[in-house]
Amino acid sequence: MKKVLIALVMTALITSAGVVFASGQEEVVDDNSVEVLHWWTSGGEAAALGVLKDNLEAEGIEWIDSPVAGGGGTEAMTVLRSRATAGNPPAAVQMLGYDITDWAELGVLADVDDIAEAENWDDVIPEALQKFSKYEGSWIAAPVNVHSTNWVWANLHILDELGLDIPETWDEYIAAMEAADDAGYIGLAHGGQAWQDATVWEAVLVSVGGPEFYEAAIINQEPDALRSPQMLEVFQRMGQLREFLDPNFSGRDWNLASAMVIEGDALFQMMGDWAKGEFFNAGLEAGEDFMGFRTPGTQGTVLFNADQFVMFEVAPELQNAQTLLASAIMDPAFQVAFNTVKGSVPARTDVSDAEFTIIGKNAMAELAAANENGTLFGSMAHGHGARASVKNAMWDVITAHFNGQMTAEEAAEQFVVAVEQAQ
Ligand code: GAL
C-alpha cells in the first residue's frame, strides 16, 4: 500500500509542497521533518520523549512537537479528531490499543510495511501488541513500549517509619493506609480524573476476582460476570479506598499525585508504571526511597498497555521522515534507552534487561511469565481491554461512583446496563 513517490505529470511546475520535476516526471524532495502528536508532558514522560527526539535529530530529521497535556491521552485524542476532520493530521500520533483499530477502520492511516519487513518486526513484536500495530495484515503503527497498570508506588521512608513491610494482601494494604492516616500522612495519593479512577478500579477488580474474572467481565463482558456479587465487591473496595484520599483529589493530574508520594506527603499511589519515570526524574532510588509492587491480590497478573506511534497518511515529501521515525522507534538500543527512562519495558522481545533497575527487570520477567501463563490482559483503563465505546461507558460509572454520586449497589447495577447499551 505504500504510496509511490514518483508520479507522472504532464507539465513542469513547482508546487507549494516544494516538489520539483523535470522531463515529465515528478520527483519528491523530502521534507525532513516529522510532526508527532503526543501527551507526554510530565517531567518523566518529557525526559523519555527527549531520547527519541535526540535520536531523530542526530539523523537529520527535524522533530515538530505537538504535545497535548492530559494523562492517558483523552485530550490528545480530542485534538487529533479535530485535526483529522480538518484534513490535517500529524505524521505520527501516540495512541493506545483499540483507538488504533478505530482509526485504521476509517482508512486514514499509512502503512510502514516496507521498513517493517526489512527490519523483521513480525519476529520481534509479541502477538498481543501486533493485534493493535497491524490492520488487515499491514503495519500501521510502531510500538515503543509495554506498560502495565496494576502497580502501587510506595514511599519507603514512610513505610519504614510505620514499621511496615510491603503489603501482600488486600487487608495488609488497607491496614498500611490506616496506619499512615493515623500518623498524619495521606494514605493514598490520587488524581480524580476518569482514566485514573479506571486505572485503580481495574486493579481492584483483579484483586477481587483474579485474572479469570477480569477476562470474563472486562475482556469478554460476559453477562454472568458483570452481574456477579464480585462486581459489587469491586465497587465496595473502591469505597474503602476513597476513605484514604485527601479532600483535594478531584481533577488532580497523575504526576502531581506521584509528587505527593515523592515528597513524603502520601504513602501510596496506585498508577501504571509510567509513575516510575516521575520517581526517577525526581532523583529517587528504587528500593531506597521508593518501591513499586503489584496491587495486593493481583500478583502474577499483568494488565498491560503499549504506547504506539500510529502513522497517518501524509504528503509524499513527508513520508521519508515518517519511515525514519518508525525505524528509530523500533531500534533495539533506542528501546532500552527510552524505556529505562520511561518506566516501561521494551516492546521488542529481543533486548536484554541488563540496563534496567530491579523493578524493570522484574517487570520484564513478569510480562514474559504472564504471557506464558495466560494471565496477561489488555488494560481497559488504557484502551486495550475493550473497544472505546464500551470503555467509555465503564469509565462513566466507575468515576460517578468514586466521586460519591452513587452507592456501590447502584454502581454495580448501572455498570451492567451501561456496558450492555454500549456493546
Ligand atoms: C498512558 C500511557 C503512558 C503514560 C500515561 C500517563 O496511557 O500509556 O505512556 O504516559 O498514559 O500519561
pLDDT tens readout for residues 39-66: 999 999 999 999 999 999 998 999 999 9
| Cell numbers found for residue 415 | 455498570
Confidence label for 25 from pLDDT (cuts 50, 70 and 90):
low
Model pLDDT, residue 181: 98
Tell me how far apart the alpha carbons of residues 357 and 355 are, in angstroms, rounded to a whole number: 7
- Spell out the domains of the chain, with CATH numbers in brackets: 2-147+305-363 (3.40.190.10), 148-304+368-422 (3.40.190.10)
Tell me how far apart the alpha carbons of residues 244 and 189 are, in angstroms, rounded to a whole number: 8
In 59-194, the DSSP E strands lie at 62-67, 92-96, 134-135, 138-139, 141-143, 145-148, 151-155, 186-189
Tell me how far apart the alpha carbons of residues 400 and 222 are, in angstroms, rounded to a whole number: 23
Query: Residue 218 Cα, ligand 1 centroid: separation in angstroms?
Result: 20
Q: What is the mean pLDDT of residues 323-352?
A: 95
In 83-133, the DSSP E strands lie at 92-96
Atom of ligand 1 nearest to the CA of 42: 12
| Closest by Cα among 415, 305, 338 to 73 | 305
Residues 6+ apart with CB under 8 A from 420: 223, 226
Query: Residue 82 Cα, ligand 1 centroid: separation in angstroms?
Result: 21
- For residue 191 and ligand 1, the question of a CB distance below 6 A is answered with no
Query: Residue 99 Cα, ligand 1 centroid: separation in angstroms?
Result: 14
> Percent of the chain, pLDDT > 70?
94
| Closest by Cα among 88, 174, 119, 131 to 332 | 119
Tell me how far apart the alpha carbons of residues 129 and 143 are, in angstroms, rounded to a whole number: 7
3-class DSSP assignment, residue 26 = strand
Residues 6+ apart with CB under 8 A from 266: 155, 180, 185, 186, 187, 188, 189, 246, 257, 260
Query: Residue 275 Cα, ligand 1 centroid: separation in angstroms?
Result: 9
The answer to whether residue 114 scores a pLDDT higher than 90 is: yes
Atom of ligand 1 nearest to the CA of 45: 10
Q: What is the mean pLDDT of residues 90-115?
A: 98
Atom of ligand 1 nearest to the CA of 277: 10
Kindly report, residue by residue over 208-238, the tens digit of the pLDDT: 999 999 999 999 999 999 999 999 999 999 9
The answer to whether residue 277 scores a pLDDT higher than 50 is: yes
What does DSSP say about strands 302-305 and 376-378: parallel, antiparallel, or unpaired? parallel
pTM of the model: 0.93
Confidence label for 201 from pLDDT (cuts 50, 70 and 90):
very high
Query: Residue 38 Cα, ligand 1 centroid: separation in angstroms?
Result: 10
Atom of ligand 1 nearest to the CA of 307: 8
Ligand 1, atom 2: closest residue by C-alpha: 72
Terminal CA-to-CA distance of the chain, rounded, Å?
32
Model pLDDT, residue 21: 44
Q: Which residue has the cell 528509530?
A: 328
| Closest by Cα among 169, 187, 170 to 178 | 187
Confidence label for 26 from pLDDT (cuts 50, 70 and 90):
low
Phi/psi for 196 (5° steps) reads -75, -40
